Amino acid sequence: MATLHETHSQVSVTKIISVFPKTLNPPKLLELSNLDRQCPLHMYLVFFYNPSPAYSSSSLDLVFTKLKAGLEETLAVWPQAAGRLEPSPTDGKLNLRCNNRGVILVQAMTNVEISGLGDLSKYNEFSEKLVYKPVLNGNFSEFPLVVAQLTRFGCGGYTVGTGISHSLFDGPAAHDFLTAWAAKSAIFKQRMEHQVELQRPVHQRGSLLDMAKFGNPRSSASAAVAIEHLYGLIMQAGRENNGEMGKNKKDEYFCTTFRVSREMIQRLKNNANLGANAAFHCSSFDVIAAHLWKARTKALSVNKEKMVCLQFAVDARNRLLPPLPKGFSGNAFVLASVTLTAKQLEEKSHRTIVEMIQNAKSRVNNDYVHAYKLGLEGPQASLPPLKELTVVSDWTRMPFHKIDFLHGQAAYASPLKPPILEVAYFLQNPADSQSIDVRVTLLSHTLDTFSSYFMTSMQ
């Protein structure tokens, strides 16, 4: 019997088409904000749907056709997804040309069975074959902002693999878009848009953010500390490596997932409360992020005198004055940041680290967002590998697995390797909403050490 490794290439693409909005909108240029421009690359996500009697007798072509029809309707409401990024001729900054160029939809099939992939929460290299990856070639005007691949498995199950430019949507906006597409596709069910609350999108970007009543960030305590910390880490790494940063190969990294149960989370919270004179309240995110930062830094054997940094995304939608309207479809996340030396991080209690995280969150206000936007005015470059940096992206409030493309929720919705390898994802577990799956990318030789440090305190 062939192993999964031997069948790795056995995903056969049978169709590649462009999909256009059902109703074409007049072309226009949509001004992006600096928050949109941070990462124009695709973020890839694979939805796994186990075999079901509901679609066992349906052809791949039928499923593909319904998915295409639903996408056409969705693009009529979300026309910017069918557009292209376009550099400004004056300053080179990317904006979004809504020009009805379309998105790419791919049909594929494989003899592999979903059960053969094992635990779907664990990263599997085979998943990279379940998404369509366009080649950029440096020309954003030819680069589709949305791609999707429908793959039928030998067992009769399906995957829907999506790739969405981060300049197009942040996490909540991508969730709204994919939910709308699934509802309008009506695969093996009645049309769902009246049963699912679809968010009407608001597509204004930079001009809408500029309506906020910003103060003077230079006279405010709300400086863009996340950007300052990141520049500091890059300079620190440059001094250490004499300008030879970034030579680690991506194949030296390994993605893995740790299941943190509600009991483990409670133990972490109890540890943070030790010695407290009064009740100490903290979220699951706070304690897991603090614990992850400590464990990852220790596992990577960072020099004790080096600065290490934890950064995490904060949704600014309701932190601006006035708040952004419900349905805002652009990027509204900024990074909050805390930094210490590796020695300080090791010695400080979980409670102290949690309090630092909470304080960093509280500093994200109107002026912080303004300062952050200004901090992104400079030239953007690819981030070199930085073992002193840990970034957390919290998806627990975006349950992608509940998006019903076929019949019932997905068995799992799995992100692929992030473009920035220092990123860890916090995901809601489909079987237990009170548990959190931590997907982290590590240097291969540190995996066992990290696992020991990360899991020991929660047993």
Query: β-strand 146-152 against 412-415: which pairing, if any?
Result: unpaired
- Please give the structure tokens belonging to residue 353: 């680290």
DSSP state of 202: B
**Residues sharing a CB contact under 8 Å with residue 445, sequence separation 6 or more, in sequence order:** none
The residue whose two tokens read 């939910």 is 179
CA distance 313 to 316: 9
Q: Where are the alpha helices (DSSP H) in 203-274?
A: 206-209, 225-241, 262-273
Backbone angles phi, psi at 187, to 5 degrees: -85, 120
CA distance 48 to 414: 8
Q: 394: how many CB neighbours lie within 10 A of its CB? A: 22
State the catalytic residue, choosing from 166, 175, 291, 350: 166
CA distance 250 to 363: 34
CA distance 278 to 163: 47
Residue 453 CA: distances (Å) to CA of 262, 291, 301, 387: 19, 9, 12, 16
The partner residues of 49 in beta bridges, in order of sequence, read: 158
CB contact at 8 A, 83 and 146: no
Residue 95 CA: distances (Å) to CA of 31, 92, 118, 178, 328: 5, 9, 42, 22, 17
| 166: annotated active-site residue | yes
- DSSP string across 282-351: --HHHHHHHHHHHHHHHHTT--TTSEEEEEEEEE-TTTSSSPPPTTB-S--EEEEEEEEEHHHHHHS-HH
**C-alpha torsion sign, points 344, 346, 347, 352:** positive
CA distance 370 to 69: 40
Nearest-CA neighbor of 297 among 415, 450, 429?
Answer: 450
Number of H helices, E strands in the chain: 10, 15
- DSSP string across 53-89: TTTTTS-HHHHHHHHHHHHHHHHHHSGGGGSEEEE-T
- Please give the structure tokens belonging to residue 70: 């639903």
Q: Could you give the residue numbers annotated as active site?
A: 166
